[in-house]
Amino acid sequence: MHETGIAEAGIRAALTEMERHGASRILSVTLRIGALAAVDPEAMRFAFEVACGGTPAEGAGLEIENVPAEAWCRYCGIAFTPESVSFFKCPQCGEYSGELRRGREIELARLEMDS
């Protein structure tokens, strides 16, 4: 369950930002997670709750922003949502693309803190 490692890294980053801004508590965390990042939202919520325990983030809410996959066709120059997670075939010209522009990210997007 790699969600545990993601949750722990997210909490570490959030606590660093909390200290940098002189806040005392983290109220909520928003993670931006790509459709191809292989993260199960329910497992992520559970791992987040466990990772927050005993920290200034204990009891914090978790919001997950889903980022759809987006590939780019170098032949016809369009961005498109791939139909498959393995092959990115352009719906306009039918060529295969290896360029994925979005969909694998896992980012700390927002924090709500209490001073």
CATH number, domain of 11, equals 3.30.2320.50
Instruction: Specify the pLDDT at position 24.
Output: 96
In a domain, 63, yes or no: yes
Contact assessment for residue 79 and residue 44, using Cβ atoms and an 8 Å cutoff: no
Question: How confident is the model at residue 1, as a pLDDT?
Answer: 57
Residues of the chain with pLDDT under 70: 1
How many domains does the chain contain in total?
1
Is residue 24 in some structural domain?
Answer: yes
Whether 83 is covered by a domain: the verdict is: no
Residue 95 included in any domain? no
Q: What is the pLDDT of residue 33?
A: 96
In contact, 74 and 97? CB cutoff 8 Å: yes
Does a structural domain hold residue 35? yes
What DSSP line would sit under 29-67, residue for residue? Answer: EEEEEETTS---HHHHHHHHHHHHTTSTTTT-EEEEEEE
Residue 82 within a domain: no
pTM as predicted: 0.83
Residue with tokens 């987040």: 48
Let me know if residue 97 belongs to a domain.
Answer: no
Q: Is residue 86 part of a domain?
A: no
Nearest 5°: phi and psi at 44? Answer: -65, -45
- Angle (CA) 5-3-72 rounded to 5° is 105
Structural domain including 64 reads: 3-68+103-114
Give me the pLDDT at residue 97, please: 81
What's the pLDDT score for residue 88? Answer: 87
* Of 13, 18, 50, nearest in space to 31 by CA: 13
